[in-house]
A = this chain, B = another copy of it.
């Protein structure tokens, strides 16, 4: 292992992140969005932890409906991961008593997830807690939050 000159670590700017002044407008917006997400990670972990869930489990719970069953393959699509994966995700939620598998009468290969009463109750508490956004968003004025929402809605609807 080579040596580093003494004091070399303090020679340049304090952060190692990318220089946004050289980016295209789209790349700049994307980079900022990504950095806000990274900065909000502790917030997300804290919120999920309040319900004794991991961030992924909280997201999974939010993707189960209170009104209809979600098949395993639909669940995989909603979560954006492989079908082999959602088995374990569903297992962990089921072990917590938040949802259960039901087999479909029309096709006995299909299994669907429905929230249990405990799952519905937790879903509601989570939804209420999610009214509070992380600091980066919360610090904006309501006018800015609305404008941001409009722009992001346009972006999401363009897909």
Contacts and interface: CB of A to CB of B under 8 A. Distances in A.
Interface string A37-53: 11101100000000000
A93 B12 CA distance: 23
Q: Give the interface size class of chain A.
A: 35 or more
A130 B18 contact: yes
Contact of A16 (B3, B78, B102, B146): B78
12 contacts: A1-B100, A8-B68, A9-B74, A9-B104, A15-B78, A16-B65, A25-B149, A29-B148, A31-B130, A33-B33, A139-B158, A148-B155
Interface of A: 1-9, 11-12, 15-18, 23-39, 41-42, 62-65, 67-71, 74, 78, 80, 100-106, 111-112, 114, 127, 130-140, 142, 144-149, 151-156, 158-159
